[in-house]
A and B are shown apart, each in its own frame.
Chain A
């Protein structure tokens, strides 16, 4: 009896110990294994979804090996249309926003697909099967499912954080970009102001904010290359050629056109201060020959003042090369023809003094007929830009001098004579210049008595004041005109010139003196 009693108690005891052991194991699983499993699955799911996010982003931005799902970038217009240039917009001005939207479109379905796939696997492999292992599989499935849920929640937070961070980076870049654009434009404008540089069109005589530039690769015209929508330091043309956006950054190297009239501008426009020199006088007074002689004295480095010149555009160079042989051979130059409604284009040269900065000199040679009517003279808008005027006076047109010549001299010189009296021409010029609003009190006037070689015996040998005295003398009778000149202009100088080249191929030295006076008054530092 006692033996059986002992055996029963021992079995109960063993059973109790076993139950305690099972409970302890279950408790251990519940306390350590399940949380560890949950955490492990959660971390795995987070890591995998973050990788999915980054892969989606990489694919949406077209980085690394394909397949890529980049946003379609709309092609820019092939030519300037509706205020749009043929250039690719800067990344921060549109395409970056498109990329972010595209990335969201690529990443969201991929992440959602991966999450759905996880739960489908959980349902099909762990929870749904009704086999004999379901007693173990279902609790394990519940634990794994909880881990996946935890991972998804954490991944959603991590991805939201990443996406927000990415948008913040983009917004920061955009803000910095906008700031940089304005700083660049500001610096360029300030530098141009400090240097006193303006963008002057020698065709339509207007100052423009910035030139139109042709792409060095495909010659497409870009109407406003300055930093902005299409680029900061450079823009990319339709043809993928890079174009600098500012004069500061080298845009002057490109071919420039006027914004207003679309005519070609001077090469390297915007790199030098420009000066406008109108050469005014009656028809046949020798304006064109004098202008050519001035340019020749600079271009062919024959003058003692040390300044040299380079043509600023092909038109000026072509005109010079076409007509200088006439000057050399002593034959008549062409007559400047009225241009109808077309504005007059200047002959433009870069003048480099021995010391100091190069200057862009625009010499305007309007046809003499222009001075006949005040209205036509006032339509010459380049006069507004000028601070130095060159008045060309044909001595043959001075009535007193002409009447004093002999009959044979008159017959010989008549073909060279300008028909308008100098005082009438000057009155017309002065009237037009003042009506255009030019402050003549701050302007300078050079008076060049031309054709000195034809009237050597009738003109005074002295220069400067000697010529002024001669003009004011009773013999010539232009005292009223000279008085008006001296009263109106801040500075007046008189020169006796000849545009003829002597046997040695040298120009009249007075041309160099006249050129030096003009350039010195425009701020150039010369030797003499």
Chain B
């Protein structure tokens, strides 16, 4: 395993931030376009 015992959790937190932000932006864009 990685020497960092929290690597997977850190990656999860970072990915979750990125993915959810991207999704929120996409939703915002789509709602603007549809409106």
Across-interface contacts of A166 in B (CB, < 8 A): 13, 17
Across-interface contacts of B6 in A (CB, < 8 A): 73, 88, 91, 95, 99
Interface size of A by CB at 8 A reads 22
- Return the contact of A62 from the options B7, B16, B18, B20 (Cβ within 8 A): B7
Across-interface contacts of B20 in A (CB, < 8 A): 165, 169
Given A162-B21, A165-B21, A169-B20, A70 and B13 contact (CB-CB distance below 8 Å):
no
Given A70-B4, A73-B5, A88-B5, A63 and B16 contact (CB-CB distance below 8 Å):
no
A58 at the B interface (CB under 8 A) = yes
Name the CB-closest residue of A to B11: A63
Name the CB-closest residue of B to A58: B14
Interface mask (A237-254 → B, CB under 8 Å = 1, otherwise 0) = 000100000000000000
Given A91-B9, A96-B13, A170-B13, A54 and B4 contact (CB-CB distance below 8 Å):
no
Give bound CA distance, A99 to B18, whole Å.
16
A449 at the B interface (CB under 8 A) = no
Asked if A61 and B10 make an inter-chain contact with CB atoms under 8 angstroms apart, the answer reads: yes
Across-interface contacts of A165 in B (CB, < 8 A): 17, 20-21, 24
**Binding site of A, secondary structure by majority: helix, strand, loop or mixed?**
helix
A57 at the B interface (CB under 8 A) = yes
Tell me the minimal C-beta distance from B21 to chain A in angstroms: 6
B1 at the A interface (CB under 8 A) = yes
Asked if A169 and B13 make an inter-chain contact with CB atoms under 8 angstroms apart, the answer reads: yes
Across-interface contacts of B21 in A (CB, < 8 A): 162, 165
Asked if A240 and B11 make an inter-chain contact with CB atoms under 8 angstroms apart, the answer reads: no
Q: Which of A209-263 contact B (CB under 8 A)?
A: 236, 240
A173 at the B interface (CB under 8 A) = yes
Across-interface contacts of A91 in B (CB, < 8 A): 6, 9-10
Asked if B14 and A240 make an inter-chain contact with CB atoms under 8 angstroms apart, the answer reads: no
Across-interface contacts of A92 in B (CB, < 8 A): 9
Give bound CA distance, A91 to B7, whole Å.
9
Given A54-B18, A162-B21, A165-B20, A99 and B13 contact (CB-CB distance below 8 Å):
yes
Asked if A169 and B1 make an inter-chain contact with CB atoms under 8 angstroms apart, the answer reads: no
Give bound CA distance, A58 to B6, whole Å.
14
Interface centre among A88, A91, A170 (most CB of B within 10 A): A91
Known: A58-B14, A92-B9, A169-B16. 16 other contacts (CB 8 A): A61-B14, A62-B4, A62-B10, A63-B10, A63-B11, A63-B14, A73-B4, A95-B6, A96-B9, A99-B6, A165-B17, A165-B20, A173-B13, A236-B5, A240-B1, A240-B5
Q: Which residues of A approach B to under 8 Å, CB–CB?
A: 54, 57-58, 61-63, 70, 73, 88, 91-92, 95-96, 99, 162, 165-166, 169-170, 173, 236, 240
